[in-house]
Structure 1
Amino acid sequence: MRLATRTPKLAKRREAGISLREVMLVLAVVAVLALIFAYILMQRLDGAVGKQVDSELNRLSAALHRYKLDNRRYPTSEQGLEALLAVPIVEPIPNKWQGPYVDRPSLTEDPWGRPYRYQSSHAPPRFEIVTLGADNTAGGKGVNADISLVYQSDTLLD
């Protein structure tokens, strides 16, 4: 009889705690869920950076068009996007500069802190603004993809 009364107490004692195996299983499940969440978050952040670049390129394009309205030409490649912030010191120096044409200097930098690449030509009026993405090398996918905006007029007197 004594043996029968002691057995249930031992069984209850073993059931009361959590085994190491159960703790490890819970930690593994939490780690997998955290990895899935981090992957989804990174995908959304990459998309947000792409939208930010598109928005900045459109704002720079609008600023370049305002510059051209005042000065009858786009800044040269040598003058660069800095011509939107201050009167260029490289020829041709505009006589009717009414800037600054952008509201903050950081707008001339991509989300990774590097200056946007700018190229222009006068005849026909054309410009291109490019960022090489997070890896700063040509090509790539996702956050490393190159993003550019190209404007070219159909006429010589645009």
Structure 2
Amino acid sequence: MAGLVRFVRARREPPLDKVERAPADAGFTLLELLVTLAIIGLIAGLAGPPVVRYLAGARSDTAQTQARNLATAVELLRLDVGRYPTEEEGLSALSSAPADMPQWRGPYIQREGALLDPWGQPYRYRAPGTSGAFDVFSYGADNKPGGEGEDKDIVDN
């Protein structure tokens, strides 16, 4: 037991004259930190805008793909029921059976969230469409007809 007590006492803190101290020049100076931050800011300023443009274009591409998928689901509903949904029934006919569709065999979409565009607005349905029997479309980021870039209307065709 006495040996254990000596061992524990010896394992405590070393004497002050044997403590290793860091050299006085260890660490970073304020100038080094400022230069590093300036370089990081420069890289972010140069790389940021292309990344933002890429992400913005990705939303439009996603909306186009989703609108086409919804249009395909509307076509499947027509095959089962024999007609397209009316504007009043809209795209909700893809997820729940309207009262006057006894042949409905859906749901034709896997989740209700598929009815929202990448900007969180519901996709719109128009029957008859401007270039066919129906249109599935989104008004884009601004949720208003017309526009350019991200605000441009996105139609299924």
In the TM superposition, what are the counterparts of 1:2-81 in structure 2 within 5 Å? 27-81=37-91
TM superposition shift of 1:117: 1.0
SS of alignment partner, residue 102 of structure 2: coil
Relative to 1, partners in 2 of residues 1:34 and 1:72: Cα closer, same or farther, differing over 3 Å?
A: same
Give the CA deviation at 1:94. 1.3
Runs of 4+ residues over 6 Å off in structure 1: none
Which protein has the bigger strand share?
1
Q: For 2:148 and 2:47, how far apart are their aligned partners in 1? A: 21
Aligned mate of 1:138, from 145, 151, 154: 145
The question of whether the paired residues in 1 share the 8 Å contact of 2:142 and 2:151 is answered with yes
Alignment coverage as a number of residue pairs: 129
- The match for 2:103 among 96, 104, 114 is 96
Contact 2:67 2:123 in 1 (8 A): no
TM-score, with normalisation over the residues of structure 2? 0.71
Q: Which runs of 5+ in 1 are unaligned?
A: 1-16, 151-158
Q: CA RMSD in A?
A: 2.4
**Aligned mates of 1:133, 1:51 — CA distance in 2:** 11
| Separation in 2, partners of 1:111, 1:32 | 31
Match of 2:112 in 1: 105
Identity value in percent: 35
TM-score between the two structures when normalised by the length of structure 1: 0.71
Is 1:120 aligned to 2:130, yes or no?
no
Maintained 8 Å contact 2:138/2:153 = yes
Deviation at 1:27, TM superposition (A): 3.9
CA shift digits 1:61-112 (9 cap, x unpaired): 11011000011111000000000000114xxx11200000011111111111
2:136 to 122, 125, 129: 129
Q: Which residue of 2 aligns with 1:6?
A: none
Q: Deviations over 1:32-75 (max 9, x none)?
A: 32122221111111121122112111111110110000111110
Whole-angstrom distance in 2 between the partners of 1:70 and 1:39? 47
Larger Rg over CA atoms: 2
Query: Partners in 1 of 2:34 and 2:147 — Cα distance?
Result: 39
